Amino acid sequence: MKPLRDWFHQTFSDPQVLILTGVLLVALIGIIFVAEMVAPVIAAIVFAFLLDGLVVRLERLRVRKIIAILVVFIGFILMTMLFLLGLLPILFRQVGQFVAQVPVMTQELQGHLLELPQQYPDLVSEAQVRGFMAEIGGSALYLFSSLPSLAGASVVTLMTSVVYIILVLLLVFFMMKDKDKIANWVIGFLPRERDLTTTVWSEVNLQVANYVRGKFWEILIVGVVTYVVFTILGVDFAILLAVMTGLSVLIPFVGAAVVTVPVAVVAFVQWGPTWDFGYVVIAYAIIQALDGNLLAPILFSEVVDLHPIAIIVAILIFGGLWGFWGVFFAIPLATVVQAVLKAWPRTSAWRKPI
């Protein structure tokens, strides 16, 4: 116990470490207890990160800050309205069509599956197909049994979403306009000797801001390319599948694997075990491969320098702690951990200074 006690005393006798630890504890407590209540604030911070880069670029072109903020914010409102009034109704319509066609799709899927033992008797048996069909039937039954409760909650969810959208827009504007004032207000609660905390914050600010902006463009490019490819191939529910494919990049490795299922099911129901089905699956695989091996490295370069093992561990840990949102923010949170570990003092009671 003496080495541990000596390490604790040596490490936390440094006021810089105490300040950083206190800031991290306050942030962790806030995430655990009030994150859900301040969800609009978190969303506004994400959008403010996205838009701040455009404001900075306009300022470099000698545009006055307030003019740059107004131009970017108005553009953000127009894009939001385009999404809400243009893409979102189409997306909801395709979701409704998809749900309405689930019984028909299930029957067609079963019909195609029953043909597999005849076409490939050495690979698939009829018993395996019927067992798989029973699982599909159970899942479909569960889905339809839950639809009434979802429909009943949809009105409340819609009203809540409208309020949240208005709050987020207001928060984004004031965060862009008064960014320096807000930062100075927060800094005012910290001691003057906070070099370690400042170092960590600078690293996190750079990494997370570039990550958020890079992910935005990655989602947009992957979604648009997927929609164009699926439209050319004549895939049903092209917009819905394109949006799902675009959003899949938010969760590395896992997202691409999960979205493979609906893409393959829709294509299989539409064409059966034919070359058209194969073309869709191959096209989807190529899109994901190009994203992972070409687009993502170009967009992020060395900004988020995390090993794949670290990413997977972060998804498992934060997903286990906070569910979907933990998975959603796994990489930014892992970036924070990485920045803290890089800045943390390297000396200890049992380790020589590096």
Does residue 148 surpass a pLDDT of 60?
no
pLDDT at 354: 46
Q: Check if the beta carbon of residue 327 is closer than 8 Å to that of residue 254.
A: yes
pLDDT at 36: 67
Residue 351 DSSP symbol: B
pLDDT digits (tens, 9 = 90+) for 89-137: 888 788 777 777 777 777 777 776 777 677 667 666 667 666 766 666 6
Question: Is residue 187 assigned to a domain?
Answer: no
Q: Check if the beta carbon of residue 354 is closer than 8 Å to that of residue 345.
A: no
What average pLDDT does the segment 209-225 reach?
84
What is the residue-averaged pLDDT of the chain?
Answer: 76
pLDDT band at 254 (very low <50, low <70, confident <90, very high): confident
pLDDT digits (tens, 9 = 90+) for 63-78: 888 899 999 999 989 9
pLDDT at 63: 87
Helix (H, G, I), strand (E, B) or coil at 128: helix
Lowest mean pLDDT among 2-11, 228-237, 308-317: 2-11
Does residue 16 surpass a pLDDT of 80?
no
pLDDT at 229: 94
Residue 237 DSSP symbol: T
pLDDT at 140: 56
Q: How far apart are CA 54 and CA 58, in angstroms?
A: 6
DSSP H/E element including 26? helix 15-34
Neighbouring C-beta atoms of residue 55, cutoff 10 Å? 22
pLDDT at 142: 53
Does residue 201 surpass a pLDDT of 80?
no
Both tokens assigned to 36: 């859900």
pLDDT at 157: 63
Question: Is residue 55 assigned to a domain?
Answer: yes
Q: Check if the beta carbon of residue 212 is closer than 8 Å to that of residue 46.
A: yes
Please give the backbone phi and psi of residue 348, each rounded to the nearest 5 degrees, phi first. Answer: -155, 175
pLDDT at 151: 46
Question: Is residue 102 assigned to a domain?
Answer: yes
Counting Cβ atoms within 10 Å, is residue 331 exposed (0-12), middle (13-18) or buried (19+)? buried
What is the total count of domains within the chain? 1
pLDDT at 139: 56
pLDDT band at 14 (very low <50, low <70, confident <90, very high): low
Could you tell me which residue, 251 or 223, shows the higher pLDDT? 223
pLDDT band at 21 (very low <50, low <70, confident <90, very high): confident
What average pLDDT does the segment 142-152 reach?
50
pLDDT digits (tens, 9 = 90+) for 22-53: 777 877 777 777 766 777 787 888 788 778 87
Q: Check if the beta carbon of residue 73 is closer than 8 Å to that of residue 107.
A: no
CB environment 223-257: b (16+ within 10 A), e (fewer): bebbbebbeebebbbbbbbbbbbbebbbbbebbbe
Question: Is residue 350 assigned to a domain?
Answer: no
pLDDT at 13: 63
Q: Which residues contact 338 (CB under 8 A, 6 or more apart)?
A: 207, 305, 306, 310
- Work out the percent of the chain whose per-residue pLDDT is above 70: 76
Question: Is residue 351 assigned to a domain?
Answer: no
Question: Is residue 7 assigned to a domain?
Answer: no
Helix (H, G, I), strand (E, B) or coil at 297: helix
pLDDT at 349: 47
Counting Cβ atoms within 10 Å, is residue 63 exposed (0-12), middle (13-18) or buried (19+)? middle
Which range has highest mean pLDDT (116-120, 191-195, 312-316, 341-345)? 312-316
For 301, the domain range is 15-177+194-343
Q: How many helices (H) and strands (E) does the chain have?
A: 15, 0
Question: Is residue 349 assigned to a domain?
Answer: no
237: alpha, beta or left, given left = phi > 0 and alpha = psi -120 to 50? left
Q: How far apart are CA 225 and CA 134, in angstroms?
A: 36
pLDDT at 350: 47
Question: Is residue 9 assigned to a domain?
Answer: no
Helix (H, G, I), strand (E, B) or coil at 348: strand
Could you tell me which residue, 132 or 221, shows the higher pLDDT? 221
Does residue 12 surpass a pLDDT of 80?
no
Could you tell me which residue, 183 or 284, shows the higher pLDDT? 284
What average pLDDT does the segment 191-201 reach?
75
What is the Cα Rg of the chain in Å? Answer: 25
Does residue 242 surpass a pLDDT of 70?
yes
